[in-house]
Structure 1
Amino acid sequence: MSENLKTIKELADELGITKQTVQYHIKNLPSKIRKKNSRGAILLTKEEQNFIKSRVNKQSDREQFYLEKIKIQEEQIEDFKEQRIELREQVKHLGVLLDQQQRLALQDKKLLEEYKSEINELKSLKMPQEDKKENQSQEEVQTIKKQMEALNDKIKGQEQLNNQVSKKWYQFWK
């Protein structure tokens, strides 16, 4: 056989693919007339071989592209897994922080209630003193009023005495 002509099996072995793959690509060849050897095997010319090689290379390039894409996606998946683990840790940490915050809020609430009760107790202690002050001031006002009334009574008594004396004197001259 000539170096330019190869059988399907020879080309498949050379390219490292199956005979069925070569036959698939032969269907896409423009010429429908094929040469055959003495056994009846199809012989491919140099141009046909180059056409099939280019198709296989394109296919292997596509396969390589997809393999690289798959590799990148697997790396992304690993990154996502790591991020998921980190997020779980963050969620646990946030849970702990939330729990601490709630405990502090409860403590604050209890302290506020204690402070309110203390304030109320202090107010209740203060109130009687204010009442006493009010009572004292009211008592002082009442004593002052009584003193004023007593003084007013004395003044009226003096006026009456003066009037009586002046009447007597007036009557004396009459």
Structure 2
Amino acid sequence: MPKTIRELADELGVSKQAIWQKIKRDASIDLRQFTSTKGNTVYVDVDGQKAIKAMFSNNSSTRYRQQKDDVDDNKKDAVDGQDEVKFLRNLVSEIQSEKKELHKLLDQQQRLALQDKQLLEEYKAEIKDLKVLTMAPHDDGEKEVTSDKQPEPENSTPESQPKPKKWWRFGK
């Protein structure tokens, strides 16, 4: 049974303008299909009424569908959350194993650095000992050999020859 826009608005609890605005916004409804006009009054047939009621009840059904979708999304999120937790646990275990490997490498590097330091100290001590040995005068009466010394002629006496100077004293 056809109803007027006012009757339909009263039934839905909205204003006539709200119904007209919904119809104008929704391009899927062709108002001419569902309406008939007698004078200045517009009557909406049963199919038109259903379409208009669907537009207004769409908000409540949309809420219901949205709530249902939210529940479904929560279930999906729970499954996705479990997958994410597994992924994060695997990632944490990988990071921990990498951390252990880095600690091993750091310890190894520190041990090698300590060995290098000890070897360097040993080499310094050896060089110091060698310098002391080469610089110390000989007590057994032998003459030191220097790079500036010329071979002595056999016929000359040691008193007539000047003594050669030691080369390391020139730099002092």
Shorter-chain TM range is 0.3 to 0.5
* Bigger proportion of residues as helix: 1
Task: Provide TM-score, normalisation by structure 1.
Answer: 0.47
